[in-house]
């Protein structure tokens, strides 16, 4: 569902919250600043009237002094407006980033398992950045534009009601009608541009992640040509946005000249009819012509707004996204007495994966799960960790549906090892300690020994203190996997979930790890997925999933 510009704006405004007083300061500075700027040519007009001998009641010295004061005030007020406006904007960007990260925490892990990481990165980086336009260059200018135009209309009305009506029509046309009409036409373009940008980021990120495959299979040229095609398309979209921007600008400038001319003609007509004096023509004409600044700012803002609204919409869509699984912050903290899948059926968006599966997990035993690739083995573990909830049936731990168990308590009961372990750019020791933050160095070493990785770590330049990043990606799949196992061993959680934990290991290391697992079975329950018969041999019972 596409939101309206007003709706997006209202939602983004709500986020302003406690910064409203500072926004008021920005608006006051802005209005006074514009009035000081407009006053300069008007005062010039009065000097002209005095010079031409048409109004000798004026005091030229006072007027010249007032011009100087207005000029200085203009600078100071503009500075104050900019500084307070940008303070709000950057403060809010920090708040928004925080909100996005909180949302990602809420939506993870299901959201991060998906394929649109490039899109997420675009939202976190450029979309949020673009909202600066809204907070620093939209809200205050709109209010400043309205107030300044009102004051100027009242000022002109002091000379003539008719001229004031023309001025009001001019402000409304330039500041409201033109921006609304042109932004309606260009809104789709703004959205399309941001979307294409997201698609290109995703594709680019994908190509970088798969660089080895790209080189190995020689598809660099094809990837590059797709990237240039996408860039080309993006350029086209940007061009049409720019064209739109040009037309908007031309329209508003034509309107400014047109209305000033109409006001002048109307003024002359009224003067000929004897309804106003010569100063009644001159001062309102100068006043109108020099007071379009704030409303012109509004018509130009609509061009940036197209992209800003598109960014705002993408951000709000993410913030509003419903999590696949809601975190349980209250809930029970059971002691582990066993687990199981009870007549569960589960489908991802793409279609059914598991149907009517019931498998008990008995405490203190090793349950092996086999099945063809894609039959849903890893999905079973993800259901047990509550990355997703099954559509029917229930996943249970200690006889309770895991939907009623406190999520943090649930995580505390489990450890999880996959085929590819992610290592953070930190020391090896810190990477193992992720399993248990308060573990002593002795415990870290004991876990590494169990995972058959201690000797390898000791061969590194700084042993356990070696930074993973400094190894420049030289860790093999098997070494990483063993560090992942050490993490799981150190956690000492009652339920270990192992998804192909030996897939990258040679027979020797596999044997050491299986022995360690066998010794771990005391007080521990293990769910083990493997295609390897040698690994499966340690399972007490094996469940085979049929497709
Ligand atoms: N996040 C996801 N969104 C949509 N479909 C998914 C997702 N993750 C997995 N699938 C699909 O669900 C099915 C089961 O996947 P799963 O990873 O559980 O299989 P598996 O038995 O562990 O396979 P393998 O032995 O190859 O690891 C597959 O068809 C897979 O494409």
| Higher pLDDT among residues 74 and 187, named by residue | 74
Bond from prior residue into 109 cis (ω within 30 degrees of 0):
yes
Q: Which residues pair with 544 in a beta bridge?
A: 370
* Percent of the chain residues past pLDDT 90, beyond the cut: 50
* Lowest-pLDDT range of 127-136, 352-361, 521-530, 533-542: 127-136
Which residues fall within 8 angstroms of residue 309, CB to CB, at 6 or more apart? Answer: 5, 8, 9, 187, 190
The answer for 4, left when phi > 0, alpha when psi is -120 to 50, beta otherwise, is beta
Are the beta carbons of 295 and 142 closer than 8 angstroms?
Answer: no
How far, in Å, is the centroid of ligand 1 from the Cα of 353? 8
Provide the pLDDT for residue 304.
64
Are the beta carbons of 478 and 394 closer than 8 angstroms?
Answer: no
Mean pLDDT calculated for residue range 287-312 = 81
Three-state DSSP state, 488? helix
Q: Which atom of ligand 1 is nearest to the CA of 545?
A: 21
Question: Encoding tokens for residue 248?
Answer: 């908007």
* Lowest-pLDDT range of 93-107, 136-150, 178-192, 475-489: 178-192
- Cα(540)–Cα(518) distance, integer angstroms: 11
- DSSP secondary structure string, 179-211? HHHHHHHHHHHHHHHHHHHHHHHHHHHHHHHTH
* pLDDT level of residue 381 (50, 70, 90 thresholds): very high
**Residue owning the nearest CA to atom 27 of ligand 1:** 373
- Cα(436)–Cα(444) distance, integer angstroms: 9
How far, in Å, is the centroid of ligand 1 from the Cα of 348? 9
ipTM of the complex: 0.96
Residues with CB under 6 A from ligand 1: 113, 348-350, 353, 371, 373-379
How far, in Å, is the centroid of ligand 1 from the Cα of 379? 6
Q: Which domains are delineated in the chain?
A: 5-320 (1.20.1560.10), 338-545 (3.40.50.300)
Provide the pLDDT for residue 300.
66
How far, in Å, is the centroid of ligand 1 from the Cα of 117? 18
Q: Look up the pTM and report it.
A: 0.69
Question: Encoding tokens for residue 545?
Answer: 């999933």
Q: Which atom of ligand 1 is nearest to the CA of 419?
A: 27
Three-state DSSP state, 233? helix
pLDDT digits (tens, 9 = 90+) for 175-208: 889 888 887 777 777 778 878 888 898 899 889 9
Q: Which atom of ligand 1 is nearest to the CA of 371?
A: 21
Q: Where are the alpha helices (DSSP H) in 108-177?
A: 110-113, 117-122, 128-137, 139-157, 161-172
Q: Which atom of ligand 1 is nearest to the CA of 531?
A: 25
- Cα(356)–Cα(343) distance, integer angstroms: 5
Q: Which atom of ligand 1 is nearest to the CA of 376?
A: 18
* pLDDT level of residue 24 (50, 70, 90 thresholds): very high
Ligand 1 mutation target, pool 350, 370, 384, most atoms within 8 A of CB: 350
Provide the pLDDT for residue 2.
65
**Residue owning the nearest CA to atom 31 of ligand 1:** 374
Ligand 1 mutation target, pool 324, 349, 376, most atoms within 8 A of CB: 376
């Amino acid at each position: 569902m596409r939101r309206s510009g007003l709706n997006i704006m209202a939602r983004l405004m709500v986020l302003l919250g406690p910064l409203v007083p500072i926004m008021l300061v920005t608006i006051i500075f802005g209005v006074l600043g514009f009035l000081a700027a407009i006053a300069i040519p008007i005062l010039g007009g009065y000097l002209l009237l005095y010079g031409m001998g048409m109004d000798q009641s004026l005091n030229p010295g006072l007027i010249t002094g007032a011009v100087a004061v207005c000029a200085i005030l203009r600078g100071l007020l503009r500075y104050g407006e900019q500084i307070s406006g940008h303070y709000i904007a950057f403060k809010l960007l920090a708040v928004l980033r925080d909100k996005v990260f909180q949302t990602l925490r809420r939506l993870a892990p299901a959201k991060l398992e998906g394929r649109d990481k490039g899109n997420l990165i675009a939202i976190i980086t450029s979309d949020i950045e673009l909202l600066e336009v809204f907070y620093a260059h939209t809200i205050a200018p709109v209010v400043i534009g309205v107030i300044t135009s009102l004051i100027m209309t009242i000022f002109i009305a002091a000379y003539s009601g008719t001229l004031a009506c023309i001025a009001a029509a001019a402000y409304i046309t330039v500041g409201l009608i033109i921006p609304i009409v042109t932004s309606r036409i260009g809104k789709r373009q703004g959205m399309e541009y941001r979307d294409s940008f997201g698609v290109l980021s995703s594709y680019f990120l994908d190509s970088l992640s798969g660089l080895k495959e790209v080189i190995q299979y020689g598809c660099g040229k094809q990837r590059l040509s797709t990237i240039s095609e996408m860039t080309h398309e993006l350029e086209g979209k940007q061009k049409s946005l720019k064209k739109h921007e040009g037309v908007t600008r031309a329209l508003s400038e034509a309107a400014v000249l047109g209305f000033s001319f109409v006001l002048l003609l109307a003024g002359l007509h009224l003067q000929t009819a004897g309804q106003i004096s010569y100063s009644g023509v001159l001062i309102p004409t100068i006043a109108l012509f020099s007071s379009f600044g704030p409303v012109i700012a509004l018509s130009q803002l609509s061009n940036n707004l197209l992209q800003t609204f598109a960014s705002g919409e993408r951000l709000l869509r993410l913030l509003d996204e419903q999590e696949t699984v809601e975190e349980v912050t209250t809930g029970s903290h059971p002691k582990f007495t066993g687990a199981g899948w009870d007549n569960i059926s589960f489908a991802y968006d793409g279609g059914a994966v598991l149907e009517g599966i019931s498998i008990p997990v008995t405490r203190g035993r090793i349950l092996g799960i086999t099945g063809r690739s894609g039959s849903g083995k890893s999905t079973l573990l993800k259901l047990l960790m509550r990355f997703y909830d099954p559509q029917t049936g229930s996943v249970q731990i200690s006889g309770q549906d895991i939907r009623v168990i406190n999520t943090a308590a649930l995580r505390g009961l489990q450890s999880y090892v996959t085929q590819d372990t992610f290592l953070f750019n930190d020391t090896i020791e810190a990477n193992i300690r992720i399993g248990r933050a308060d573990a002593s160095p002795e415990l870290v070493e004991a876990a590494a020994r169990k995972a058959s990785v201690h000797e390898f770590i000791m061969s590194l330049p700084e042993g356990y203190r070696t930074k993973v990043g400094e190894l420049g990606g030289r860790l093999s799949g098997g070494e990483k996997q063993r560090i992942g196992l050490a993490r799981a061993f150190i956690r000492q959680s009652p339920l270990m979930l192992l998804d192909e934990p030996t897939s990258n290991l040679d027979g020797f290391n596999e044997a050491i790890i299986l022995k360690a697992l066998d010794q771990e079975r005391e007080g521990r329950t293990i769910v083990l997925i493997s295609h390897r018969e040698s690994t499966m041999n340690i399972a007490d019972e094996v469940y085979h999933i049929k497709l």
